[in-house]
Amino acid sequence: MTSSERPLLNRRLAEFGTTIFAEMSALALRTGSINLGQGFPDTDGPEEVREAAVRAIREGRGNQYPPGPGVPELRTAIAAHQQRRYGLSYDPDTEVLVTAGATEAIAATLLALLEPGDEVVALEPYYDSYAASIAMAGGTRVPVTLRPDAEAGVFRLDLDELRAAVTPRTRLLLVNTPHNPTGTVLTRTELTAIAELAVERDLLVVTDEVYEHLVYDTAEHIPLATLPGMRGRTVTIGSAGKTFSFTGWKVGWVTGTAELVTAVRSTKQFLTYVASGPFQYAVAEALRLPDSYFDEFRADMRSKRELLADGLEQAGFTVFRPAGTYFITTDIRPLGESDGFAFCRALPERAGVVAIPNAVFYDHREQGTSFVRFAFCKRTEVLTDAAQRLRKAFAH
C-alpha cells in the first residue's frame, strides 16, 4: 500500500476526530453567543497567586527545566494538602509527581499501567481524554453507564453493573468524582463498594479528583485512597486548573505509592519531561491558601449554580442540579426536543447560548442523546444574561 492510500492518523486514534469544543467555540464566536460549552472560568484566580508566578519568573525560579518530579516546594505543598484535608500521608520525594495538568497525568498513568488488550472500566459519560488515552495505551474501555434519576435530579452508579463489567482482563478502574459532566459526587457507600471490588479482584484504581474542592450542600468529597485497602493500589490525580481558576497554567499532579508514582514518571519523562516551571512555585503558594479561599470559592460557585439552574428550570429543561463540579447536565425532552447534537447546533441562533451535547461523552451514545451540558464557571452578569436568553427562547 502506498502512503497516499494509508490514512495518516493511526488506527488507534482514528475514531476521535476533532473535539466538539472546537466546533462549538467557533459557533459561539461566529454568532456572538454566550459560551457555556467549554469549562473554563472567565475570571482568573487569586491576585496573590498570579503575583507569585510573576515573582518566580523575575527571580529566575523555574525558567529553566525544573526537576523531573516537580519542584520540591510544590511536591511538599501537595503532600501537605492531602494530609491536611484528608489525612493521607505521601512522601513528597517518592510519592508525588507534578504533571502538565491532569490531562498528562491521565495519559502518563494509563500509558504506564496498561498492556495492549487490558480492559479499563470507566464511568460513562466520561471526560473526553479518557477514551483517547486508553486507546493510545492500547487498552480497551469498558463503560459503566451512570443512570439518570430525573425525579431525584441525579445520575447514579449501579453497583451491580460495575461488578458485572469486571472480567479477568480488567486491569484498572478509572473513577472520576466529583464527576464531569453529570455533577455526581460518589457517596461513601458507592466508594466503599468500588474499593471492595478493587481489593477482591486485585485491580488498580485511577481516580480523577480535579473537582475535589467543588462540592455543594451536603455532598462530601471522599478520596478513594482513604478507603480500606486502597492507598496501595490507587493513583490519585489532582490539578490546580479548576481549583484556582488557572486552567492555562497546566499544573497537575499524581499521588500514590512510590512504585505507582515511579511507573507513571517513567512514561511522563518522555511525554513533556517537565512543564510549567514558574507556575509550579505559584501553585505551591496557592495550595497553602487559608481555608477561607476554598470556602469562598465554593460558595461563589454554588450561587452561580443556583442562578443558572433556576434559569434552565424556568426555561423548561429538566435540570440535574450538580452536587459537584461546575457543570449542569439537563434533559431537553420537556422542550419537545430529543437530539442533543441538533439542539446544540441550533441553540446559538435560537437563544444566543452555546452548550455541549453529552452524547459526545458516551460510547453508548443512545444513552446520552437527550442530555445537554452547560458550564457555570462564568461571571454572574454573564450567567444572568444567559438565563434570561434561555427563558426568553423557551419559556411560555
Ligand X SMILES: *Cc1c(COP(=O)(O)O)cnc(C)c1O
| Contacting residues toward ligand X, per CB under 6 A | 101-103, 127, 176, 180, 208, 210, 239, 241-242, 247, 252
Q: Smaller CB distance to ligand X: residue 82 or 176?
A: 176
Minimum distance of ligand X from residue 7's CB (angstroms): 28
Mark 198-236 as b/e (b = at least 16 C-beta within 10 Å).
Answer: bbeeebbbbbbbbbbbbbbeebebbbbbbbeebbebbbb
Minimum distance of ligand X from residue 208's CB (angstroms): 5
Which residue number has the CB closest to ligand X? 101
Q: Smaller CB distance to ligand X: residue 376 or 394?
A: 376
Phi and psi, residue 191, nearest 5°: -65, -35
Cα dihedral 195→242→283→61 (10° resolution): 120
Instruction: Give the angle subtended at the CA of 20 by the CAs of 19 and 22, to the nearest 5°.
Output: 75
Minimum distance of ligand X from residue 174's CB (angstroms): 11
Q: Smaller CB distance to ligand X: residue 42 or 115?
A: 42
Minimum distance of ligand X from residue 361's CB (angstroms): 10
Rounded Cα–Cα distance for residues 247 and 251 (Å): 8
3-state helix, strand, coil in the chain (%, to 5): 45, 15, 40
Minimum distance of ligand X from residue 350's CB (angstroms): 27
Amino acid at 40: F
Q: Smaller CB distance to ligand X: residue 39 or 348?
A: 39
Residues 6+ apart with CB under 8 A from 322: 178, 182, 183, 184, 216, 305, 328, 329
User: SS3 of 6, please?
Assistant: coil
Q: Smaller CB distance to ligand X: residue 101 or 368?
A: 101
Q: Smaller CB distance to ligand X: residue 176 or 370?
A: 176
Minimum distance of ligand X from residue 228's CB (angstroms): 25
- How many C-beta neighbours within 10 Å does residue 262 have? 15
Minimum distance of ligand X from residue 137's CB (angstroms): 16
Nearest Cα to Cα of residue 239 among 256, 254, 226: 254
Minimum distance of ligand X from residue 181's CB (angstroms): 8
* Pair 374, 36: CB distance under 8 Å: yes
Q: Smaller CB distance to ligand X: residue 40 or 86?
A: 40
Minimum distance of ligand X from residue 180's CB (angstroms): 4
Nearest Cα to Cα of residue 98 among 259, 275, 221, 257: 275
Nearest Cα to Cα of residue 94 among 78, 112, 106: 78
Minimum distance of ligand X from residue 271's CB (angstroms): 12
Rounded Cα–Cα distance for residues 350 and 64 (Å): 50
Q: Smaller CB distance to ligand X: residue 249 or 317?
A: 249
Instruction: Give the angle subtended at the CA of 307 by the CAs of 301 and 308, to the nearest 5°.
Output: 90
Q: Smaller CB distance to ligand X: residue 145 or 247?
A: 247
- How many C-beta neighbours within 10 Å does residue 11 have? 8
